Each structure stands twice: as structure tokens, then as C-alpha cells.
Structure 1
Amino acid sequence: MRLVSYRLKNQDVPLRVGAVVENNIVDVQEIYHRYRKEKNGEELDILIPEDPTSFFRLGHPAIECVQEAYTYCLANNWDGVDILPRDIVYLGTLIPEPSKIICVGRNYVDHAVEMNSDVPEYPVLFAKFANALIGPDDAIHKTRLTEKLDYEVELTIVIGKTASRVKKEDAYDYIAGYTIGNDISARDLQKRTPQWLQGKTIDRSTPIGPWMVTSDEIGDPSNLAIRCYVNGDERQSSNTKKLIYDIPFLIEFISNLITLQPGDLIMTGTPDGVALGMESPKFLQDGDIVTVEIENIGRMDNQVIAED
């Protein structure tokens, strides 16, 4: 199942949680209530919030309830359910206000090499904040403070239940699903101090989406093709099997430092091919279209808009 945050276009209303049916959207609350009605009013485990942040903070229980409803409505050919065509729907930030966005730097050997860095002895962790997040239908904001805006496609984990001191062998039990992140980085701002934060969490700079694919449908997350294009030109092409620190290791490592909560995001690192690693760097410019895609998840296109 693929979950989105959406609203109808040209409506200034809060985002809602939706599910993808082919290339269309159904409202999660609607299918949940449809399912409950067929259960003759039987009380299910929880109520489903409209708000995406509240929904994802409930984690596995909310997602499992929706999966039951989705399966029921699918089996009944979506009878009685409004199916919204994609062209009338705006997709927003998947989780507008996660409690944590944890990013992993230099987690592919080839990327460490192109950055003239050693392979890190431990995972390199840094943070983003919610101000940076945008959705698949939003533009990447290029602040006038940077002339070196870079792209970084990353497999992104959505946490599904509270995780503290998790063992590697149990790590996948704590994951709700996966999405695509584009760790847009202002390299000139990032590099002017030893700490990277100021170049990594600029307002409206980090696309997440286009949806979250639940863990049961993703296949093996340690063997997914991952790519990035700028204006159709392939810049990054790799596979998540090349991660230095794989997903179970990261869950164990991070959860021993920080308690993870449902709805938290972990951006697992980017492969080689970034602009900064080129002999003649091709940084992002006003009007560029950045496309990121990961096997079994999908693709996302965002235009770069320079600050006026």
C-alpha cells in the first residue's frame, strides 16, 4: 500500500491522508469508515486521524487498520468510495512535522571517495528540521545565500513504532515503510563551518515522497536501484546494496543513541554523482527539474525556484 498526504488542488485546506489506487487517490478516513460500516459498527482498534502527522505518529496500529480497510475496499471494487483522479489532487509533504529527521552522511563508498573523504568509522549523523520539508508537487527553494545547490537522492525510512536499543535482527519490525528523500544541500553554506547543519536544512528545500510504500510491498530494501536526474540527464545511479551501513545496522546504532518515535524519518545517505564531486560541478539553477527515483517506490520531480 502507498500512503500520501493530499488535498484537492486550489483548496486552502489542511492536508489529509490518502492511499494510492493505480494513479488515483482515495481518502483513508473514507475507506476506513466504509470498512467499519460493513463490520456493523464493530469497534476497530483505533480511530484514524485526518492529519498526516497525527496519523503517522500512531505508527503500525493506524497503518494496519488502513491496510485492512484498503484490502476490503479493493476486493469490493471500491464500491461506494470516491476515487480522486491524480490531476485534481495536490500531494504535499508526506509527514509535515516529524519529531525527528535523522540523516546519514557519506554512507556509500563511491560517494565518500568523490568527496575526498575517508570511509567513516561510524555512521555520520546530522539533522534536518521540518521547515526544510516539501512534497512531490512543491518547488525546491533556492535561497539567494547559495550558489552551490546540490542534489542527493536517498532511500528514506519511516519509523512505525517506538525504537530504543533495538537489535539488528529486530530492526525491520520497527519500520512502517519507505519513501524517497532528496537531501538538497547548499554546499557553500555546508562547508563554511565544521558543522553541516546550515547547508542542510534551508527552508522548503527537501522533497520527501511521492508516497510511503509499506514494508510488506517494498521487497528487499537492501537491493534497490536508486537514481537521480537533472533535466533528464542522469547524475546518480547506484543500488542500496552499496550502503556502507545497512538499514538494520543504522536502526541499531541510532536507537542506541536516540529513541526513535513513529513518524520519524531516517535518510540513509546518497550515492556518488553529486555536483560537488564533479571535476566541473553542475550545481542546480533556477528552473532545473530534479528527478529522483528508487526501485519499487517510484519517482518524484521537483522544479528549482530561485529566491526572488
Structure 2
Amino acid sequence: MQFVGIDHCAESWAAALVDSRLFPLAPVAEFWTGPAGWQEKALTLTADAGPSLERGTVSEVPLVPASARVICVGLNYKAHVAEGSYKDQDLPAYPTLFGRWTASLSVGNVPVPVPAGEDGLDWEGEVAAYIGRRVESADEAEAVESVFGYSTFNDITARRAQKLTTQWTLGKNGDFTGPLGPMVSQDEVGDLRDGLQVRTRVNGTEVQNGNTRDMIFSIPAIISLISQTLTLHPGDVIATGTPEGVGYARTPQWLLQPGDTVEVEIDKLGTLTTPVGELSLRSLA
């Protein structure tokens, strides 16, 4: 089952996606109080059951509550560690974690602006995991059971801002730089350790082609580690890291410019498309 967020009744709602029809279920915050129950209801829907909307006639929004923590994993593929500025370092003993604010999130087909002062933006295609139940001090077996679904994600990065200090927050929170695709329920995706192919294309040219089986830290290990310190709640998101092929590590460097289009395609999760817009942060002020 697939779910998306939509702008409905003057607020953000969760909707089930059945073929090309959207069935509004509940406001996003309410959906995450019991996502399994809403999934059970959604499974009874058909294209002619209940009020529905044609996809494309309504605005889509991230299926993430405002209260969510969005925790991203950096350096989670060996080949990605080896290609960049961390190539001379040992593999990390623990995952490198950083946060995104929900205000930076977006959805497919929404233009992302190149911030003022940046030479361009970088792509990072990856899988996002959505927490579906409360997780506190969990072992890996409990952690894997907490995942409700997955989606495509592009951790679009302002590299100049990211590299100003050892803390990555600024470069990872540009406006509209965290697009998410529709969420696919865990039962349709399976275990990422079995392998999903992650491909990224820029203007039709493939720039990334990795597989989730090559992640250094698995989703259960990441969730378990996080839960030892902070309690995860339904609607929280874990972005699992990107494979090799990012733009800043290339010779010559390749960064996204206005007019470019990025596609992140992941097995079982679909394709997330993001255009790079003409706006800058300065012009948005």
C-alpha cells in the first residue's frame, strides 16, 4: 500500500494511493497516532470505493508530522566514504547522524532553489524509513518491527555551507532540499538488507547506482542505537545514507544548476523527480 500527504480541507492529510486515485484518510498528525489501523482501512479501498481525488488535481505535501524528528545517516556506504573528503579515514565505528528540520522537507516535482553563495547543489539519492510505533531502548529485533514504511528521498546538499564547520546542519537544511516520494508500507518492501537498487540520474545521465545491502549500518542497528538515547515516535523519519556517485567528489566537480532535473529511482519505491529552480534564498526573502 502507498500513502502520500495532500493539502486537503485547509490542512495536511494522509491519503491512500490506489492506482491514480487518492483516498483521504485523516489529518497527518492523526494518521501517525495509529498508522497500522489506517493501513488496514486503506486495504479495503478500491478505485470506486468512497470519496477520492485524482492524483495531480491536489497539492502533495510531506507525509511527516510537524513534531517529527528527521534523522539522517551520513557515510553509510563504503564506496561513498572512499570517494569523498573522508577517504583517508577508517570506517566509522558508529553511524554519523545529523538532523533535518521538517521545514526543509518537500515532495516530488517541487523546484529546489540554489542558495545564494553556493556554486550549485549536490544530489544524494537514498531510502527513507518511517517509524510506526514508539521505540525506546530497543534491540535490533524490536527495532526492525518498528518500521512502518519506506520512501525515496533526496538529501540535496549545499556543500559550501556543509563544509564550513564539522557540523553539517546548515548545508543539510536548505529550503525544499529534502524531497520525499510516496511512502510504501513495509510489508511490500521487505528487509533492506535483502537489497534494493538505488539509482540517481541528472538530466537523464546515471550518476549513482548502489544497493542497500552494501550499507555499513543496517536500519535495525541504526534505530536501536538512536533509541538508546532518545525515544522515537510514529512519524519520525530515518534517512539511511547515500551510495557513491555524489557530485562534489567528481573531477571536475559536478553540481546541480537551475534547469537541471534529478531523479532518484529505487526498487519497489518508485521514482522521485526534483527540478532545480531559478530562485535563491535571497530572492525568497
TM-score, structure 1 normalization: 0.85
Alignment map for 1:193-204 (pairs within 5 Å) = 193-204=165-176
Q: Which runs of no fewer than 5 residues in structure 1 stay unpaired?
A: 29-49
Tell me by how many angstroms 1:233 deviates: 1.0
Tell me by how many angstroms 1:96 deviates: 4.9
How many Å separate the matches in 2 of 1:279 and 1:262? 42
Q: Contact between 1:275 and 1:281, CA under 8 Å: does it hold in 2?
A: yes
Secondary structure of 1:285's counterpart equals coil
Tell me by how many angstroms 1:125 deviates: 0.8
Residue 261 of structure 1 corresponds to 233
Q: Give % identity.
A: 34
Q: Contact between 1:224 and 1:239, CA under 8 Å: does it hold in 2?
A: yes
How many Å separate the matches in 2 of 1:54 and 1:146? 39
Alignment map for 1:17-56 (pairs within 5 Å) = 17-28=14-25, 50-56=26-32
How many Å separate the matches in 1 of 2:43 and 2:72? 33
How many Å separate the matches in 2 of 1:203 and 1:110? 28
Once the two structures are superposed, residues 174-202 of structure 1 have per-residue CA deviations (whole angstroms, 9 ceiling, x without a partner) of 11111111111111111111111111112
The residue type paired with residue 214 of structure 1 is S
Residue 97 of structure 2 corresponds to 125
Residue 83 of structure 1 corresponds to 52
Residue 262 of structure 2 corresponds to 290
Tell me by how many angstroms 1:99 deviates: 2.4
How many Å separate the matches in 1 of 2:110 and 2:10? 16
Secondary structure of 1:107's counterpart equals coil
- Does 2:213 correspond to 1:216? no
Residues 96 and 171 of structure 1: is their aligned pair in 2 closer, same or farther, counting only changes over 3 Å? closer
Residue 64 of structure 2 corresponds to 95
Residue 6 of structure 2 corresponds to 6
Tell me by how many angstroms 1:302 deviates: 1.1
Tell me by how many angstroms 1:285 deviates: 0.4
- Does 2:246 correspond to 1:277? no
How many Å separate the matches in 1 of 2:43 and 2:124? 35
Tell me by how many angstroms 1:98 deviates: 4.1
Q: Contact between 1:92 and 1:136, CA under 8 Å: does it hold in 2?
A: no
Q: Contact between 2:112 and 2:175, CA under 8 Å: does it hold in 1?
A: no
Residue 72 of structure 1 corresponds to 44
Q: 2:128 aligns with which of 156, 159, 163?
A: 156
Q: Contact between 1:96 and 1:133, CA under 8 Å: does it hold in 2?
A: no
- Does 2:174 correspond to 1:205? no
Secondary structure of 1:103's counterpart equals strand
How many Å separate the matches in 2 of 1:64 and 1:78? 23
Secondary structure of 1:111's counterpart equals helix
Secondary structure of 1:158's counterpart equals strand
Residue 109 of structure 1 corresponds to 78
Query: Number of residues paired by the alignment?
Result: 276
The residue type paired with residue 147 of structure 1 is D
- Which is greater in Rg? 1
Residues 201 and 111 of structure 1: is their aligned pair in 2 closer, same or farther, counting only changes over 3 Å? same
Instruction: Kindly indicate which of the two structures has a greater share of residues assigned to helix.
Output: 1
Q: Which runs of no fewer than 5 residues in structure 2 stay unpaired?
A: none
Secondary structure of 2:39's counterpart equals helix
RMSD: 1.7
TM-score, structure 2 normalization: 0.91
Tell me by how many angstroms 1:87 deviates: 2.8
Tell me by how many angstroms 1:122 deviates: 1.2
